[in-house]
Amino acid sequence: MTDQPAHPPLAELEATGCRTWQLTRQNIAQIDDEIDKDGIYAKGYWQDVDGKLTVVGLRIGVGETRLVARFGDWIARHPDGRWTVHKAPADQPAVKGPVVCEGAHLTRE
Q: Domain limits at 21?
A: 8-86
- The reply to whether 63 falls in a domain is yes
pTM of the model: 0.75
Structural domains in the chain (count): 1
Do strands 52-60 and 67-70 pair parallel, antiparallel, or not at all (unpaired)? Answer: antiparallel
Q: State how far Cα 68 lies from the chain centre.
A: 7
Per-residue pLDDT 10s for the chain (109 aa) are: 444 544 667 888 889 999 999 999 999 999 999 999 999 999 999 999 999 999 999 999 999 999 999 999 999 999 999 999 999 877 665 543 333 333 444 443 3
- The reply to whether 2 falls in a domain is no
43 CB burial (10 A radius; 0-12, 13-18, 19+): middle
- The reply to whether 3 falls in a domain is no
